[in-house]
Copies of this chain bind each other. A is one copy, B any other.
Amino acid sequence: MTKREPPTKEATVADVARAAGVSKAQAARALGGYGAVSEQVLSLVVAAAEQLGYRPNQLAKSMNTGRSNSIGVVVGDIENAHFGLALRGISDEVRGAGYTVVLVNTDEDLAAEAAAVQELLQQRVAGLIVAPCSSTETSHLEAAQAGGRAVVLFDRGIHDLALDTVRVDFEHAALRVGRLLLDAGHRRIGYVSSQRARAAYAHGMDLGLSPVADRVEGIERAFREAGAEWDPALVKLNATSDDALASACAELLDRPDPATAVVCSDSLIALGVLGQIKRRGLRIPDDISVVAYDDFPWTELIEPPLTVVAQPVYDMGREAARALLRRLGHRVPAEQLPLRANLIERASVGAPSPAADRIPQS
């Protein structure tokens, strides 16, 4: 017969007060460390609390102070090392201020994201850090904002919405990626991302204030500079599952005029793309060149080492947390963490295969 209810009720301030022989208010003051309490009462209360194994009830506390000590973090895929590391930054930064993190994974699904925000709001989190899965559908975030909750955006921003946003500027790095590939002779450059979009990418499509927008724009600009013709159809969005990623790769690689280089939007995508490349028996960089965003340790250990664009993910997490803390009225040390993306050239970019004009279909 396992009882579901706790066998013994938790001790409350009232219990402690009674045991210590003081008023509830005094006990609460002693326990909570606010108001004025005499040495004697303090020790009496502390002893009684110890005795009874008293644990303050945070729920009750936040209920009548109106402020909770938890912040909500909403990400698309915690399995992605990008978010794992960012979460660590957030967690580290926020702990110092006494907050705890409520995490929700949305699977890059907009409805799930909206539900998560709703849920978190109901839980009365002090604030929200959200890596939105869309840069355009954001009414739920606006609502949270309008409802007077602090909201900080991570990675992706939103046009025309005054929300703190933490993201690194990819303009320069993206342009360098484009030039690097163009200089190597590539003209058919694929881009694969898990970012959601209603339709396939087309030129001029609004990607919002997203890294993907920056990165695609960088490539496009490099093409313009070079007076080369760029094919927007090689930008593949919505690669949120293994299947989706596989078909994106298929569309890029299994065609008469395959992409000769592919840029991977994050390390999870890179892993998938590399798998697809391997499956096809393509060699890097002889048959195909690869560049990936996010520099994780394994990118340097594979053969050949991957050319990547590194971003300070951990610091981005910390910065997001600090922005939120500031909004919550905390004095946060003014130190500014540098958020720069930079291209690290290793060995996964080479000249396009001379056979690329032909049909390497299997």
Contact = CB atoms under 8 A, between A and B. Distances in A.
A88 B92 contact: no
Interface stretch (A50-58, A183-191, A205-213): A50-58
A6 B103 contact: no
B122 A57 contact: yes
Contacts of A79: 81, 84-85, 88
Nearest to A68: B59
Q: How large is the interface on A (under 10, 10 to 19, 20 to 34, 35 or more residues)?
A: 35 or more
Given A84-B79, A100-B102, A101-B103, A58 B298 contact: no
Contacts of A10: 147
Contact of A103 (B77, B102, B272, B300): B102
Contact of A148 (B7, B102, B274): B7
A123 B85 contact: no
B103 A301 contact: no
Interface string A281-308: 0000000000000000110111100000
Interface in A83-115: 84-85, 87-88, 91-92, 100-105
A81 B300 CA distance: 17
Contacts of A104: 91, 100-101
Contact of A105 (B91, B119, B275, B329): B91
Interface of A: 2, 4-8, 10, 53, 55-60, 62-63, 68-70, 77-81, 84-85, 87-88, 91-92, 100-105, 118-124, 146-149, 271-272, 274-275, 278, 297-298, 300-303, 329
Contacts of A63: 57, 59-60, 63
Count identical subunits in the complex: 2
A65 to B, nearest CB: 11
Contact of A6 (B88, B147, B302, B303): B147
Contact of A59 (B118, B123, B297, B300): B123
Given A55-B147, A101-B103, 9 more contacts: A6-B148, A59-B68, A69-B123, A70-B102, A81-B81, A100-B120, A103-B103, A275-B297, A275-B301
Contact of A271 (B105, B118, B301): B301
A221 B4 CA distance: 43
A91 B106 CA distance: 10
A62 B119 CA distance: 14
B78 A100 contact: no
Contacts of A7: 146-148
Nearest to A297: B271
A91 B68 contact: no
A70 B123 contact: yes
A103 to B, nearest CB: 5
A355 to B, nearest CB: 23
Nearest to A85: B79
